[in-house]
Structure 1
């Protein structure tokens, strides 16, 4: 037999020659090629092992990527020569020299099983490599025993080693960045790359947690295929997809161009990154439950049982759940569906769950998102009011929106809500100034805009414009012009009224106008200011455009915004505002339409009985039952008296009724004294609405003093569990210029909406001794934008000093 000579110097039909021919083949990579390369390498090393005359009790073991059978053209051969303790010192050289002579890159070690386990215990990376150990040649029992021991060690030490592994991942992400946003990504080491795929396998091997598997294998396959093609194009063992190589890699893979190549890479990386996030959250929950066992008995359930029920599932009485919104609760640090939630009958539920999660600093459980994607029907067109409000609330959460948005996108819910989103999803921006892909830049702009909602009267329009300002980059032509067309359709789909649709279209069309004009034109030239005023048309739109300009630049990258640019933009905006002063649309007017027959009836009843008269009816986008979270119309007539606004708002807060919008006006229907008419849209925070009779009874008790609303609210707040929430800008309380009203002082309040907000404002106004003649309250997403028309005791506007004192009192009440 000529086995040994052929193994050392393989002929044209030997495994080494076949391996060399495969490496030199010009075709694309792919799983079949990697498998074939691994099999040929196995045959080659087995032949070398036989030719070297290895004794019994020795084995060749493939580890790492070679152990997984995933050899790329220029991959290292990670090999362990395993022995029982007595080994001819010349044997390793007889094995390794032919490999070195072939030019293959070899990473080798010679150890006993005990030594291998000892090294793995001290070196986490070595332990990860051994988790993929696979027998190649020699004594299979030796390899099998090592595999069993290493897996047992890994599972026993997982509570200690998994946190260490996660920290290594964080450090790696800091060094190499996020694969799905890099123009020259490292396919292996960047977050969402092939290294994270290996880590997910290690987490699964621990038996403590697992990652969602949908799409994960396909994503890993795509990244590995691109890496193969990169090796073949460059002829080097590189993992960085450099700009100069992208066209050739795309051509080798049969992809239309480099942009299509990057989009595919980004999509795969996002799948891996999302799976990693879900898996690590599962690990944290399991480890926290183990650490707290004995202190938190309601968390005592085996991980296997939790997996069987599915993430987010609950055994009755076993897990603590706290309500967040209608159909949504918090469990184990995630937002999940309530037990009574019915996604198939509630198309707004995905947005409501997302908004509730983001506003409370949580993310959506993956099982919840999968169920929403599978069961929820598409939203009707136009959207119900609640859907639009929940989208704005989600965006208004700022940075807390990002993980929730990623969860929705991972399961296809974003493109279901906004079909135009598909054109910009994962689209690269080949511009050194931009840090993000187009879609992530849009979300990042909304995150920046969330910190600017106090600057504008319509925070909802600012946030939606931020989300959609570059939506035109998905098509041909000027992206601002294309975006204007797209946003008109999207805004109408969302149910915005025509005036708001037009405002959004103007903002998208001109989102670059302020910064381009300020930096390229003479600000002192009247034509420059005229161009801006003609584009925006009003002061409120100018305020929105100024905030959008800054948010867009900050989300682009550090080079896109500076103090110098800000000063130029502010100067131009100030000149344009001066030109536009006096244009309509600054403040809500105090003029009221004629009262309806229902309003007149309630006012007469309140004047006759001296007590509250109210009605609840479907309205404000609510379902016919009046119990939906979108809101119902509450009409309330009450004889005027001091402290009325704060008292009524407090009773509503006690009944967990959130105020979506509100109007307050004064009537004297029968000449028996003034009656205040409150026309509000309210919604139950959780569950159904209270009975009208019970609400009327509590209002009567609050007005006669037998129900201490402030004390009851304070007690409830003190007993409520603390939630993380999200940081929000401080409230803004300003006195409007006298031009806002000739007969009253207008106090504007812009604040993050919260239970009891209107109660606190009302108490502060009542305590200041002013009369609220008219009020216009709006809740736009998670932001309250309120205007109160105030007079003194005899019905005159407040003097400047007293107006400032009232504003300070309200500000203190909200602080």
Structure 2
């Protein structure tokens, strides 16, 4: 223990210098030792000043917490019972000033301290950490008791103010986890937020999740200590010029490793803050709700109070199979079993993001603890749910952060670990590599109407920079990584090659457009040869824009956008001579079972329905995706909308549909629907019930449209990010020689196909073939239309049909 020979400032300065120069004393022990040394010196000053028994010297703020960084201020309160104490205060403050240590001081009675705290939130926060140094210990104890009592009594008013202070700081100082020169104290996720979390805990209303929080506190405090020693100043900003020295002083490999540690700590603190403030909001809203209903609010501290309505009933609304909404968060249904359903955590995440919710902290922890690894390759549902999560746009981010905090993302994508918290030492970039990838997916979610494969766009947006952190060109390294990742995710060979090509060339369009002459045929031909297809070109165009806009304001401009768009248009014109961008083509021939079904429907004049036998095995294995339903019906107007409405009423989500026209016995056309559906909440309706509902819909005794509208009106309004508007287009003339091709790209919602079908029915066109795909949260549907005589539609008529469908989807 470092000692002080006297109360003189020089003696304190000497002892302090020796302590800071001790190579064996670092981190928290050094901060505690420096605080203890300062305690002894201040106690000696108070004794030398001849203080009466009616005063106490109290440490508040950071010093009150018992730790001092090398250049920290001394926050002191001279507490007294009244009378003249100015001369006494001077005899304490002047030696402190003479020592060169920064001092923040006040002289108050107990009543004055409480009054100041009531008027000044920051002063009240400092007093919450009050610690006795010397003098009348009972006086300090009275102060602590009074301040804590006032804080708890006024928590309903003070905590929202404290939360708002945090928001204002975040706006001024940014997020610690993403800044190249972060403010360790004031930025979001910094040391000041840790103080706020301690204050929330002191209110007894809520507490932060403690996993990793102590470690984050130590890392940030240690880095600040080293920064003080390196600069010799009381600075909190970890500037670029100091990072190498700070890393060396801490024994860290390099500045990048240092930043990753800081970023990880900042993310931990920020996530703990998000969880805590949501809990506070729920609890305070519960208190207000009880007050409005006339119920008393017995203070019980933490618990389920915020989830209760009158008489203790907890309201839970279904979101997806095994997932419900409760108290504004997604939680697991009582019957959900993560260990038996490896896709459950992805389904919960996707459902939460689509509804604009977060996943409850306890739920994420349970999912992380109990979920088993996905099989490789992933089941189809896992891939679909990941795409749905990414397709939620901004609403994806808080859900993703929750999954990140519990390690679920790296469990899903092991390669993610290499880009996690990785800094990007380029002023153009505003995010770390991992957050940049998520932000790129957020921006890509707004562009899904521009591409035929929104699922590929969202996945490649998430993975395009996976090569960063590996030696060499990150695009080349990323291509290799993504081939492996795509295969594990269950993409087929063609899709894997597409993803690899997009990653390899994700910078090609913008580099070529800004460095080459876009009017030069050689430039256009080079890009055409590189991308190969219109589908790849449209994906690369959307990825380029999403990547650039997610990088930062300096990475994209109207000028760059115009250059890239001009180049894309020239390349598309070249590729148009080789292929057509329209989706779909002739559907596969009907199977033997489907042919028999068509014959049965033609002979009986009734719906013939087949639930595939292999589906029973899939359901027994716990696979909710890929249920195949074959349905044959004698052709008549309005079938598509009617059948789709019946499926929606039975809570069957359409993943894909192929519609064919057959005439198996020469008695007239039969429409054969081949559906791939999933039960919205896990249980399939019985085939007999489906058949009965179809009969009622066909004879007019059941109106699916009205029933769906009633159900939609009764459903709670979701708070998710608004998806891009639907896009309905007529493919150019070369798409089909015998029909007009209508393409519909829209957000998938219950009853979507019913509305499309009803709109087409109202135009009196015939749907000869339909190819319907649901890719994550997006539907990409293609309809081959003819007039009643079986001819392609006239251009003006085709435009009217497109406009009518567009209007029906608004």
Match of 2:734 among 733, 736, 739: 739
Match of 2:684 among 658, 683, 689: 689
**1:90 alignment partner in structure 2:** 87
**1:189 alignment partner in structure 2:** 186
Match of 2:208 among 208, 211, 226: 211
Q: Distance in 2 between matches of 1:24 and 1:675?
A: 90
Q: Distance in 1 between matches of 2:381 and 2:707?
A: 29
Q: Displacement of 1:469 after TM fit? A: 0.7
Q: Displacement of 1:592 after TM fit? A: 3.4
**1:580 alignment partner in structure 2:** 575
Q: Distance in 2 between matches of 1:660 and 1:736?
A: 23
Q: Displacement of 1:567 after TM fit? A: 1.1
**2:262 alignment partner in structure 1:** 265
Does the alignment pair 1:596 with 2:608? no
SS in 1 for 2:69: coil
Deviations 1:675-726 (A, max 9, x none): 1110011111114111111111001111111111111111111222222232
**1:52 alignment partner in structure 2:** 49
Q: Displacement of 1:239 after TM fit? A: 0.4
**1:76 alignment partner in structure 2:** 73
SS in 1 for 2:543: helix
SS in 1 for 2:127: helix
Does the alignment pair 1:114 with 2:111? yes
Match of 2:762 among 745, 763, 767: 767
Is residue 205–residue 302 contact of structure 2 (8 Å, CA) maintained in 1? no
**Structure-2 change in CA distance of 1:685 and 1:298 (3 Å):** farther
- Describe how 1:303-322 pairs up with structure 2 within 5 A: 304=301, 306=303, 318-322=313-317
- Describe how 1:435-584 pairs up with structure 2 within 5 A: 435-584=430-579
Is residue 9–residue 99 contact of structure 2 (8 Å, CA) maintained in 1? no
Larger displacement relative to structure 2 (705-714 or 490-499): 705-714
Q: Distance in 2 between matches of 1:345 and 1:636?
A: 32
SS in 1 for 2:280: helix
Deviations 1:126-156 (A, max 9, x none): 0000000011111111101100000000000
Q: Distance in 1 between matches of 2:765 and 2:616?
A: 34
Deviations 1:636-690 (A, max 9, x none): 1111110000000000011111101111001111122111110011111114111
Q: Displacement of 1:794 after TM fit? A: 1.4
SS in 2 for 1:115: helix
Q: Distance in 2 between matches of 1:485 and 1:9?
A: 64
**Structure-2 change in CA distance of 1:761 and 1:299 (3 Å):** farther
Q: Displacement of 1:88 after TM fit? A: 3.8
Match of 1:176 among 168, 173, 177: 173
- Describe how 1:347-358 pairs up with structure 2 within 5 A: 347-358=342-353
**1:381 alignment partner in structure 2:** 376
Q: Displacement of 1:314 after TM fit? A: 11
Larger displacement relative to structure 2 (585-594 or 368-377): 585-594
Q: Displacement of 1:7 after TM fit? A: 2.3
- Describe how 1:391-430 pairs up with structure 2 within 5 A: 391-430=386-425
Superposed CA RMSD: 2.1
**1:668 alignment partner in structure 2:** 663
**1:651 alignment partner in structure 2:** 646
Q: Displacement of 1:4 after TM fit? A: 12
Is residue 616–residue 634 contact of structure 1 (8 Å, CA) maintained in 2? yes
Is residue 64–residue 78 contact of structure 1 (8 Å, CA) maintained in 2? yes
SS in 1 for 2:134: strand
Q: Displacement of 1:29 after TM fit? A: 3.6
Is residue 117–residue 124 contact of structure 2 (8 Å, CA) maintained in 1? yes
Q: Distance in 2 between matches of 1:704 and 1:302?
A: 59
Q: Distance in 2 between matches of 1:556 and 1:622?
A: 47
Deviations 1:571-626 (A, max 9, x none): 11111111111334633444233321210121111112211111223669983438
Q: Displacement of 1:318 after TM fit? A: 2.3
Larger displacement relative to structure 2 (297-306 or 682-691): 297-306
Instruction: Give the TM-score of the pair, scaled to structure 2.
Output: 0.97
- Describe how 1:750-789 pairs up with structure 2 within 5 A: 750-789=745-784
Instruction: Give the TM-score of the pair, scaled to structure 1.
Output: 0.96
Q: Distance in 2 between matches of 1:619 and 1:429?
A: 50
Q: Distance in 2 between matches of 1:392 and 1:622?
A: 26
SS in 2 for 1:603: helix
**2:147 alignment partner in structure 1:** 150
**1:615 alignment partner in structure 2:** 610
**2:101 alignment partner in structure 1:** 104
Larger displacement relative to structure 2 (595-604 or 240-249): 595-604
Q: Displacement of 1:100 after TM fit? A: 1.3
SS in 1 for 2:104: strand
Q: Distance in 1 between matches of 2:252 and 2:522?
A: 48
Q: Displacement of 1:807 after TM fit? A: 0.7
Q: Distance in 1 between matches of 2:617 and 2:224?
A: 53
Q: Displacement of 1:300 after TM fit? A: 7.5
- Describe how 1:293-332 pairs up with structure 2 within 5 A: 293-295=290-292, 304=301, 306=303, 318-332=313-327
Q: Displacement of 1:157 after TM fit? A: 0.6
Q: Distance in 2 between matches of 1:621 and 1:48?
A: 83
SS in 1 for 2:6: helix
Number of residue-to-residue matches in the alignment: 808
Q: Distance in 2 between matches of 1:247 and 1:476?
A: 21
SS in 2 for 1:283: helix
**1:38 alignment partner in structure 2:** 35
Larger displacement relative to structure 2 (682-691 or 365-374): 682-691
SS in 1 for 2:387: helix
SS in 1 for 2:290: coil
Match of 1:625 among 610, 620, 626: 620
**Structure-2 change in CA distance of 1:305 and 1:490 (3 Å):** same
Does the alignment pair 1:812 with 2:796? no
Is residue 770–residue 791 contact of structure 1 (8 Å, CA) maintained in 2? yes
**2:229 alignment partner in structure 1:** 232
Larger displacement relative to structure 2 (21-30 or 105-114): 21-30
**1:61 alignment partner in structure 2:** 58
Larger displacement relative to structure 2 (249-258 or 705-714): 705-714
Q: Distance in 1 between matches of 2:38 and 2:585?
A: 83
**2:6 alignment partner in structure 1:** 6
Larger displacement relative to structure 2 (265-274 or 52-61): 52-61
Q: Displacement of 1:303 after TM fit? A: 5.2
SS in 2 for 1:6: coil
Q: Distance in 2 between matches of 1:680 and 1:299?
A: 54
Q: Distance in 1 between matches of 2:790 and 2:299?
A: 68
SS in 2 for 1:623: helix
**Structure-2 change in CA distance of 1:360 and 1:368 (3 Å):** same
Q: Distance in 2 between matches of 1:94 and 1:703?
A: 96
Q: Distance in 2 between matches of 1:585 and 1:625?
A: 42
Is residue 306–residue 313 contact of structure 1 (8 Å, CA) maintained in 2? no
**Structure-2 change in CA distance of 1:719 and 1:329 (3 Å):** same
